[in-house]
Structures are given as C-alpha cells and as structure tokens.
A and B are shown apart, each in its own frame.
Chain A
C-alpha cells in the first residue's frame, strides 16, 4: 500500500449543492472515490490509498490535469485504489464531480 496526498489551489468552486457522493468500487483494476464538500471554495484535496506502489509521478500528472480541467473547488476526494489504470482514475474523478454537482443531499 502507498498513501499519497495532493492539495491544489483552484479557480472556482464546484457546482451543485450536494454534500457528498461515492462512485466506483474497490476491486482489482478499479477504484472507489468518495467526494465531500468540506473545504474552502478555492481549495481541493485528494487523498489516495493505493495498492500499486511507485506510481507517484503518474498520480501527480493525473490529478494535476483533473484539477486544471474541472476546477473542483471546495471538494475533498478520498480514493481507495485497487491498481486502476490512469484513464479509469480520470473517469471516476470526473464521474464524482458530475454526481456531487447535482442538487440535493
């Protein structure tokens, strides 16, 4: 296991009012993403627990691109990763943002 943490300053807060959401599953080659609206509007944090060790550089690139593209201000992401491919990670993060951008609880 390896723990990674990324913190970014972002341009704008994420849309919607929902407080939290979960997408994906913890399984080999897959990942679970819990997203919570708990941070100041200009901040974003991503905490990762991953089964695959030694992919820090790839995570840095994936998270950097994600934050740049979606500006997920105010959100904290907690990832349980079962060795997912980077494109799967990008997809799950985008799905999490879409889900929490819905209105409601």
Chain B
C-alpha cells in the first residue's frame, strides 16, 4: 500500500524542477515557451489552456502546438472556450485527444467537422458554471496555461478588466498540486492590483504582443431593425413593466440591444425609470450607455469586459465593480452565479425554438456550445429569497398552490423575430440538435434552454406567456400563435389561438396599446456607434471595425 499521501505534490515539484532550468526566477523567455511546456507537461495530462470568452492565452496555445509529440501527447483539454484555430490544431496534430469545454463560437463549424471525423474524443459540452464546478471535482487540471496583462517578479498577476475565468482556473489548479504558467504582456516592478497572488503562479512567459481580445458584446445601433424595435417595445411594456423586473441579465443579440436603447425613450415615457432594469449581471454592453447616463442603472456585475469600454467604466465606479487601480474587475464564475441566483429574469435570443419551447443554437453543421446562457436561462431550484417578479411568475404557473409553500419562478424570456438571417425560421417542429445528437450518438441533445424553464416567448407578432398554459396542447398553440408566417405559425389552430388571446396567454401589440407603425428607429436613444460615443462624453472608444468616421 502506498502510504506517502503526497504523490501529487511530489509530481508537481518534479515538474517545476524540470521547468526551472529554463527560468530566471519564475520568468521564462518567449522563445523557450515550447521547451518549458515539454518539460512541465506529461502525456495524457489534463490541461486548461485559458480560452475565455474574450481573453486568450494565444502565445501559450502556439507554444503548445509546437511541442515534440514524443514528449507531449494525448492531452485532455479542459477549457471553457475553444475559440482560436490553434485550440483545434492541437487535436489535428495529436498533441491533444480528449476535450471537455463550454463554448466554441468562432470555431463552431470546424469543431463539428472534427467531432464527426473522430479527431476529437468529446467528454461533454458544458455551461461555464458546470465546467468550473467540474474543475473542483473530476476535471481538475494538472497544468493551467493562463493569460494576464502584467506580472511582477514574484508572479503576482494583474489581469486587467478581463479577469474572467482566471481566478477559478488558478484556484482549481494551484490548490490541487497543479502547475500554473502565465503569459503576460509585460513584467513590471509592482502590479497595479493583484488579481492572482504570486504564490499560485509557477512560471511567467513574457509575450511579444498583447494577448488577443475580441469585441463580442458590441452591437451597432445602426443595424437594429424596426422588427427588433417592435419586439423590444413588446418586452418592455408586456413583461418588464407588469412584473417589475429590476434584477436581470440580457443576452447579446440585437433585440436586447434594442431594449437597452429604448429604456431612456420608450421606457421613460411609460414612467418605468427606477422601477425596472436597475441591477444587471451583464458584460459592459456599449448599448447600455444611454440608459446608464440617463440614471436608469444602479449596478452592473460583469462576466468579462468589452473592448473600448475601459475608460468609461473607470469613470463610472458607482455602476461597475472596479479595483483599487480603477479598472473593471470581472469574474465569470461569480457573475454566472449572480445571474443564476440573484436575477429575476433572463432575456435572450436563440436560433431555433420547438413546439415545447426547447431552444438550441446548434444547427446541423455548427456546434457553438452553451457558454453561460443555460445558467442564466434556468430556474435555480436552490433559490430561497423572495422577490416580486419571482413570486408573481410562480403564482401564474401554479395558481392553486399554497402561497407560503409555492416556489417562485425565474422569468426566462426568449425574444426574436420569427424569421432570422436569410429568412431562416426561428420556429421548428424538430430541433437540429436532435439530428446532431443522433449522428454523434450523444446521450443528450444539446438543448440551450429547456422548454420547461421558458416562461415567455416574444416575437413581432406578440408575447406568449407559457406560465399560463395548462396543457401541452395549449403550450404548443401559444407558441404557434406567436410564430408569425413560419410553417409552425401557419399551422396554428386559429380558434384555439383566439381563445388563448382572450385569456391573455397570447398578447398582440394592439392588446398592449402598441402600434407597430410606431416601431421607428427614431425611438432608439442612440442610432449609431458615434451616438454611443457622444452619450459617453467621449469615454467610450469603439474598436476600429465599428468606426466609420
């Protein structure tokens, strides 16, 4: 029997000793990065290659891709984002074999091809919070390759506004005898704030250029359509107002950007300021600037940051979470938890909704992963604190239940136009996710939000309140009844839909006193990126791809 009890610690010390020959103190030159990884990583290791939503350990990705395959191979990658081409090149080359991940936005087509081709052995596709949870139970990394803005010689790290997943990854790795290697943009005498204490960081590689960050949450107001404005008006007047939703999370689509831009105009006219949309779990969306400047928003906690928002955030610490250095402190794990437990509503878009209300962003050829939406868009069964919207939704879903024993419900709202890009219908009889699951022989179809969590669907045709549906067929007809001219919508039972409308299960624009002809772009508080810059007093600095002046 092995009585040492310290095998993992001994293994970690051996890895660190093997890498130490390449380091001065903790610092390794960029040209030695691959040799460092060859020294520290063992075949079959679980490796977290920090691929967040925004911040990417790109230098370490390239270094890992270049390893000698006789020394490093068959790795099990456990990372939230599969975002860079190198993340998948690792599997093509045989450096890595198995994958557990959460999100693969830009690589969604290639990852699907590689899964079909057997190049990747898939563990599972997770939500962020779920993967983070597994870091502490059965997917603990032996090596974490992370990214930060700067480091001092002791290894203290400053992550800047995009702290994102780093504290979670480091916590799981460093405290379970793993090795943490950080790429940084610069090495400084003193970091401007300590996001990761130095005793959790074993090696630092100075990158020749800043790590890659992508603007993911910038929606150009110029691209918002009248249809999106109409759905936004319906949501504000038909859901935000009657439930009094103050604590919420928004998705990243154009419909919710339209809502953000209608708060200071349409929302103000309805007298809703201070009554709705005051506290957010949300990335720093530029589209929210006019509402913030108009005094609508009291507080925002963020998963990550957004390119161009740094100076604006620094100047608005009453609204955002900031560090002693003045810049944003984001944290994906905490913000996901906040969205799950402390928000009364999630509202976001999707690509497909079926007749039970299940939704998915998977199409036959793309696997985008889940990211955070399922945590935002799910009722938290462990929630125990009451709030107005939560209790009202619970009562609508179970009017006969005893008030003191009845669970509340989170409002989970799917918003979108009945036809998406290239006239592809939002509503389908059968999700493409099912076909994909059959082809890949998965045990579960990748459903983004389960129908039994969805409380409302909003389209330009109206709002379906699924809480008020009492049978599966009512639910189906409520969904068909807002599905517009899609095949699903045209196959509605007109009598039943009319009856559901009488009961208020379906509400049309005219039932809410909204004239579709008023859905005009002039209602938007900002109609261009330049308008957003103006609202921010020049503090918002949009990236060049969003500038046309």
Query: A residues bordering B, Cβ < 8 Å?
Result: 52, 55, 57-58, 61-62, 83, 85-88, 90-91, 94-95, 98
User: At the interface, yes or no: B317 with Cβ under 8 Å from chain A?
Assistant: no
Question: Which of A57, A85, A98 lies in contact with B419, CB distance below 8 A?
Answer: A85
Q: Within residues 466 to 506 of chain B, which ones have a CB less than 8 A from any CB in chain A?
A: 484-485, 490
User: At the interface, yes or no: B453 with Cβ under 8 Å from chain A?
Assistant: no
Docked complex Cα distance between A52 and B422 (Å)? 10
Are B423's CB and A91's CB within 8 A? Answer: no
Are A91's CB and B485's CB within 8 A? Answer: no
Docked complex Cα distance between A62 and B484 (Å)? 9
Q: Within residues 417 to 459 of chain B, which ones have a CB less than 8 A from any CB in chain A?
A: 417-419, 422-423
Are A94's CB and B490's CB within 8 A? Answer: no
**Chain A nearest Cβ from B498, distance in angstroms:** 14
Are A94's CB and B517's CB within 8 A? Answer: yes
- Known pairs A52-B423, A85-B423, A91-B230 / 14 extra A-B pairs, C-beta < 8 Å: A58-B485, A58-B490, A61-B490, A83-B423, A85-B417, A87-B227, A87-B417, A87-B418, A87-B419, A87-B460, A87-B461, A88-B226, A94-B516, A98-B517
**Chain A nearest Cβ from B481, distance in angstroms:** 14
Docked complex Cα distance between A52 and B519 (Å)? 25
**Chain B nearest Cβ from A37, distance in angstroms:** 20
Docked complex Cα distance between A58 and B419 (Å)? 12
Are B418's CB and A86's CB within 8 A? Answer: yes
Complex contacts, B418 vs chain A, CB 8 Å: 85-87
Per-residue interface assignment for chain B, residues 387 to 421, with 1 indicating a CB less than 8 Å from any chain A CB and 0 otherwise: 00000000000000000000000000000011100
User: At the interface, yes or no: B225 with Cβ under 8 Å from chain A?
Assistant: yes
Say whether, besides A61-B485, A61-B490, A62-B485, A85 and B517 are in contact (CB < 8 Å): no
**Chain A nearest Cβ from B143, distance in angstroms:** 48
Interface of A is mostly: helix
Tally chain B residues at the interface, Cβ within 8 Å. Answer: 17
Closest residue to A88 on the B side, CB-wise?
A: B227
Question: Which of A55, A58, A61, A91 lies in contact with B226, CB distance below 8 A?
Answer: A91
Complex contacts, A57 vs chain B, CB 8 Å: 490
Say whether, besides A61-B485, A91-B516, A94-B516, A85 and B490 are in contact (CB < 8 Å): no
Complex contacts, B517 vs chain A, CB 8 Å: 91, 94-95, 98
**Chain B nearest Cβ from A29, distance in angstroms:** 8
Are B516's CB and A86's CB within 8 A? Answer: no
Docked complex Cα distance between A66 and B265 (Å)? 29
Complex contacts, A88 vs chain B, CB 8 Å: 225-227
Docked complex Cα distance between A61 and B485 (Å)? 7
**Chain A nearest Cβ from B176, distance in angstroms:** 52
Offer 23 A-B interface pairs, CB within 8 angstroms, sorted by A: A61-B485, A61-B490, A62-B485, A83-B422, A83-B423, A85-B419, A85-B423, A86-B418, A86-B419, A86-B484, A86-B485, A87-B227, A87-B461, A87-B484, A88-B225, A88-B226, A90-B516, A91-B516, A91-B519, A94-B516, A94-B517, A95-B517, A98-B517
CB-based closest 6 A-B pairs: A86-B485, A85-B419, A87-B460, A58-B485, A87-B227, A61-B485
Complex contacts, A55 vs chain B, CB 8 Å: 423
**Chain B nearest Cβ from A100, distance in angstroms:** 13
Complex contacts, A95 vs chain B, CB 8 Å: 517
Complex contacts, A52 vs chain B, CB 8 Å: 423
Complex contacts, A91 vs chain B, CB 8 Å: 226-227, 230, 516-517, 519
Complex contacts, B485 vs chain A, CB 8 Å: 58, 61-62, 86-87
Closest residue to A87 on the B side, CB-wise?
A: B460
Complex contacts, B490 vs chain A, CB 8 Å: 57-58, 61
**Chain A nearest Cβ from B521, distance in angstroms:** 12
Docked complex Cα distance between A1 and B307 (Å)? 42
Complex contacts, A90 vs chain B, CB 8 Å: 516
Complex contacts, A86 vs chain B, CB 8 Å: 418-419, 484-485
Closest residue to B459 on the A side, CB-wise?
A: A87
Closest residue to A89 on the B side, CB-wise?
A: B485
Docked complex Cα distance between A90 and B419 (Å)? 13
Per-residue interface assignment for chain B, residues 217 to 245, with 1 indicating a CB less than 8 Å from any chain A CB and 0 otherwise: 00000000111001000000000000000
Docked complex Cα distance between A55 and B460 (Å)? 20
